[in-house]
Structure 1
Amino acid sequence: MANDVEIGLGLQSDKRAGDYARLARGAEEHGFDVLTVFGDLMYQPPIFPLLEMAAVTGRVRLGAACLNPFSMAPYEIAGQVAALDLASDGRAYLGLARGTWLGAVGIGQPRPLTAIEEAAEVVYRLLRGDSGGYEGRVFRLLPGTALRYPVRRPDPPLLIGAWGPKGAALAGRIADEIKVGGSANPAMVAVIRDRVRAGALAAGRAGEEVGIVFGAVTVVDADGAAARDRARAEVAMYLAVVAELDPTVEIPADLLARVRELVGAGRHRDAGRLVPDDLLDLFAFSGTPEQVAAQAQALIDAGVRRVEFGTPHGLADMRGVDLLGSAVLPLLRREPAPASVAP
C-alpha cells in the first residue's frame, strides 16, 4: 500500500459516554490513521464523540463527515472545528455536505452548492481572523465580526461530501478531500476523479491535489456469511439514497422501489434480503477479513487516498474494530513481494 494512503474508521454517534474513548484507543493502537464521526440526522452531535476521542488519542486525525450549513450556521461550524483542533492539538479536519433527510425536520436545502461554498468561506475567514466582512448570496459577515477565543490553526483541511458532478467540481476548486459516502465501488473512483479534475483545472489546481475518500457500511467477522447478512440489512437504508447516484451501476427499478418501500416501513432486514451479492459488494465492505481487505485494496488500486470502514464494523462494534485492526490492516499494509529478476 502506498505510504500516503490512509485507512480510517467511520463511527455512528449512538453510543454511551466512554464507549468512544475505548474505540478510539483501540483504533489508534491498531494503526488507523483517521477517525470520522458521521453527522446523520437525529444522532448525537458529532462534536461530543470527537472531543472524547481527541482526549485519549495523540496521532489520528479527527473530524465530522459531514456537517451541513442548513442545520448549523457557519459561525457555529467554525466554533466546533476550532474546538476540536484545540482539543486534539491540531489534528482536526472539517467536513461539509448538503445533508440528507432534513425534510423530516422541516429544513429546506435551497442552493446547496452555493451554501456549502459560502459556508466554507465564512468558516475559514473566521478561523483566519479576517474581520473585513463578507457578503454572499446565502451567508454574510458584517465587518468587525470575529471569533472571541483562540484558534489552533487557521486552515484545518476541508473535506466535502459529494457524489455528483457539480459537488465534485466544487471539491476540486476548494477542498483538500472529497468523500463519497456509501460506496465501495472501484469503478466509481475514475468517475469522481474526472469530476474533481474539472473543478480543479478551472481553479488553477491539479486534480490530484484533492484526495478521494470512499467509505461504506462495514461488517467483518470470521463467519463471513453472517457478516454479509448483517451488512445487507445495514446497507439497505443507504442503498435507497445513493444507488441512483452511481452511473456505473444499473439497478432494476423494481428492486430499488421495493427496497425503498421496505426501508420506509422499517423492515431493513427484509429489504437487505433483496440485495444480491454483486450489488452488496459495490455499496458495503463485508465478509471475512480477507474479503474486506480485498475490497479495500481494489479501491486503493483504483486511486483512492483514504478508505473508511463505516459502522457497524462487525457483528459487535468493538469486535469489528479489533478484527479490522488486527486482521484487515496487516493485509493492506504488508509490503508487496519483490519483482523477480531474470537470471
Structure 2
Amino acid sequence: MASHAISIAFQTDKPITAYGPLAATVERYGFNGVTVYNDLLYQPAWLPLLEIARHTQRIQLGPAAVNPFTCHPINIAGHIALIDEMSQGRAYMGLCRGSWLDFLGLQPERPVTALHEAFVCIRQLLCQSTEPYHGTVFSLAGGETLRWPIRRSDIPFLLGTWGPKTMRACMAEIDAIKVGGTANPDVIPSIRADLSQAAAAVGRSPSEVNLAVGAVTVVDRDGRAARDTARREVALYLPVIAEFDPTLDIEPDRLNRIREAAAAFDYERAGRDISDALLRRVAFAGTPNDIAEQTAALFEAGVHRVEFGTPHGLTTAEGLRLLGEQVLPALKHAYNLEDV
C-alpha cells in the first residue's frame, strides 16, 4: 500500500515564542511535518522556522512557499541552509509565484522562467558550485559561492502551483508539488495528469514527485460553528483559488460578491456567500469525522500528503488537539501514514 502523510501549516501571525511549543505539540501527536506560510504582509517564514527547528527533533519543516520576487534566490539559499543546519537535516524548501504582489506594484515578467531559474540557482548555491549560471531572470557570475559549510546540498524542493506550464518548467528540479487552497478531490485527476505529463517530458516517473494539497482547516465538535469560522477564513483566498479550479463552478454573480467583499476586507460578508458545498471544496471544516472523510477522499483521489492549515479550530490549541487525538488516529487505521 502506498504511504500517505498528514502535516500542519501555520500562518505567521503569532508571537515568535509561540511557534516552538506549537510545533512540539504537532510532533508529539505524530504529524509528518510542519509548514510555515510566507504570505505577503505576514511575518517572513525564516525566524518562525528556526524556532520550530529548535523545539522539535523528528518532523520535516519548511516554508510553503517563498517567492523569488520579494526574496532573491541567494537569500533563500542562505536562509534554508541555516534552517537545515538548525534542524539537523530536516528542512525542505518551497517556492511559488506568490499572490497579492500587486500590493507592491510587482508584476513579474516571465514568472514561470523565473521559478525554474530560482530553483537552479538555489541548488547551485547549496552545492557550493563556483560555476557560472546564465539565466534570463536570475544569474550567478561564478567564481564564488556561499562562504560557510553547508550541511546538505540535496534539501528537498517543493513547487507551489496549480499550473501545468510551471510544473513542466520546474519538474526536473523538484521533489514535490503542493496545490494550495483546495480540499477538492474532483480537481485531483487533472492535476495528477498534468504532473504525469510534466514528469514524462523530462524523463521522470510521476511516482518520484509527491503531490500535496492544503487548505484552511477548522475542526470542532460543533460542526456548524467550525464551518461558519472557516467561511470567514477562506474568504481571503477564494477569489484567487476560483481562478485556478474550474470544477468549483461558482455562479458569476456569487463570485463577484465574494470578490467585492474580500477586496473591502469584509470577510464576514464574503463568507455569507460561501455555501456548505463550496466550502467543502476549498477548506477542511466541520467535526473530526467530517475532516477525516474529506482527507480520505483526497487520498483516494491520488494525493500523497494533506496539510491542515490555519487556524485549525475555533482556537488553535483545541483544533490541534482534535486533529491530533481524533482525526489522525482515525486515518491511521485506514491508511499507511508515514511516521515522523
Smaller-chain TM-score range?
Answer: over 0.9
Counterpart residue number, 1:196: 195
Q: How many angstroms does 1:249 deviate by? A: 2.5
**Native 8 Å contact 1:171 1:177 kept in 2:** no
Matched letter for residue 244 of structure 1: E
**Native 8 Å contact 2:115 2:170 kept in 1:** no
Counterpart residue number, 2:265: 266
Residue 166 (1) aligns with residue 162 (2):
no
| Residues 112-156 of structure 1: per-residue CA shift (max 9 Å, x gap) | 110000000000001111101110001111121200111111011
Counterpart residue number, 1:98: 97
Counterpart residue number, 1:114: 113
Counterpart residue number, 1:39: 38
With over 3 angstroms needed to count, the CA separation of the structure-2 counterparts of 1:171 and 1:194, relative to structure 1, is farther
Counterpart residue number, 1:183: 182
What percent of counterpart residues are identical? Answer: 48
| Residues 248-273 of structure 1: per-residue CA shift (max 9 Å, x gap) | 22111111110000011111011111
Q: How many angstroms does 1:218 deviate by? A: 0.2
RMSD (Å) for aligned C-alpha atoms = 1.1
With over 3 angstroms needed to count, the CA separation of the structure-2 counterparts of 1:131 and 1:181, relative to structure 1, is same
Counterpart residue number, 2:74: 75
CA separation in 2, counterparts of 1:81 and 1:182?
24
Matched letter for residue 294 of structure 2: Q
CA separation in 2, counterparts of 1:170 and 1:212?
16
Task: Specify which structure has the bigger relative contact order, considering alpha-carbon pairs within 8 angstroms and separated by 6 or more residues.
Answer: 2
**Native 8 Å contact 1:70 1:108 kept in 2:** no
**Native 8 Å contact 2:81 2:151 kept in 1:** yes
CA separation in 1, counterparts of 2:325 and 2:159?
30
- More displaced stretch, 294-303 vs 102-111: 102-111
Matched letter for residue 44 of structure 1: Q
Could you list the runs of 5+ residues in structure 1 that have no partner in the other structure? 337-343
Counterpart residue number, 1:227: 226
CA separation in 1, counterparts of 2:196 and 2:236?
30
CA separation in 2, counterparts of 1:171 and 1:288?
38
Query: What is the TM-score normalised by the length of structure 2?
Result: 0.96
**Native 8 Å contact 1:236 1:263 kept in 2:** yes
Q: Helix, strand or coil: the match of 1:266?
A: coil
Matched letter for residue 6 of structure 2: I
Counterpart residue number, 1:218: 217
- More displaced stretch, 177-186 vs 193-202: 193-202
**Native 8 Å contact 2:33 2:61 kept in 1:** yes
Query: What is the TM-score normalised by the length of structure 1?
Result: 0.96
Length, aligned pairs only = 335
CA separation in 2, counterparts of 1:190 and 1:198?
12
Matched letter for residue 46 of structure 2: I
Counterpart residue number, 1:252: 251
